[in-house]
Chains A and B, each alone.
Chain A
């Protein structure tokens, strides 16, 4: 970049240096107080010092709203840009990222985040702390699972997950009420109903604890050793709303299918207190398959109708 850039063009608002072969963006940029959009696609950026030091503190750091660094060689999200609290749009598509730093949550104004075409294997739950995020692109990566916290992205309108390594989605995904678009093609999503993926039978301690909780057996701290009192306080409610059961350490990951687009079935991960858990928690010698299938369609049908409009083929 030419020296004295900021003196020559102090009013510059948009700068496009894409496809110029730049290996670094120099300190010449820092004094541009009005620069809102910086496009630097398809260059040779990615090594240390690709972005100027003190970026976030400079006048440029406060004015910048749109930053496009797609088609470069970044192996990690450059820490220098995590301080850009005014940044609304960030693209790092087509780079060499293997992960997303939890400090991504520092980009408080971010609305648009494009990370497609990298080598990302997992998503940090901190990504869900971006209060304004509306458009999230994670396609063409190596992602195996989505953290359920992502359902906290209340502003999310568009989520692109196609061409990853997802076999299921967390059921919390149905909580994204503002979601208008969701792409899932090209993932090895489990097609057939799969029961009992992993189930470690509960310990005697767990079984006793469950009985005390579900039968409301009264106890006082003086009745039990302190560690067991603490243990009993950790009981989690079975997420099946029709089951009154609780569990401590032992739960079943079960893929339940929610009907989208008519016959299209989307695998969602449910945690249940036991493979027999359906409704209402009891002796249940009933045929669990048909019962739990219709339960899952019941509770999910409202959300499913909403998702039906959302799912992009």
Chain B
């Protein structure tokens, strides 16, 4: 009922390679990347990426959008914490989308941000499946 993260390869502990499956209307929260490199490639459909500035330390206002773009099939994108934060969404109401993600070094928690206030909240990230097997948690 929300997008799924499916681990494909954990690369000797040096990286995580995963496939994300986005149903119609599915989107992520605004999140950071815990000091890692993040590469993303669209395998099917389209995904909208909205970049945000880091909120001010005392942040108590709406977060500032830097830019947004729609990534098409086979397009790639890169982000890390020095570039900023982003939200990724499948804005189609008719097509699902699939993306390939490479994170190096791997990380299993990150911060999510409330767009209206800039407040952040640490979350643990989970996998819907690992190496083709459904994880139960």
Contact = CB atoms under 8 A, between A and B. Distances in A.
Contacts of A2: none
B93 interface: yes
By secondary structure, the B interface counts as: loop
A94 B112 contact: no
Contacts of B117: 191, 263-264
A180 B1 contact: yes
Contacts of B119: 261-264
Contacts of A263: 114, 117, 119
Contact of A140 (B25, B30, B31): B25
Interface residues of B, number: 21
Given A93-B24, A160-B25, A261 B114 contact: yes
8 closest A-B pairs by beta carbon, nearest first, are A313-B29, A93-B93, A117-B93, A94-B93, A158-B1, A71-B94, A263-B119, A70-B94
B22 interface: no
Interface string B110-131: 0011111101010000000000
Contacts of B113: 313
Given A93-B93, A157-B1, A262-B119, A70 B24 contact: yes
Interface residues of A, number: 31
B114 A264 contact: yes
Contact of A116 (B2, B25, B31): B25
B84 interface: no
A204 to B, nearest CB: 43
Nearest to B112: A313
7 contacts: A70-B24, A114-B25, A162-B25, A181-B2, A261-B114, A264-B119, A313-B112
Interface in B1-54: 1-2, 24-25, 27-31
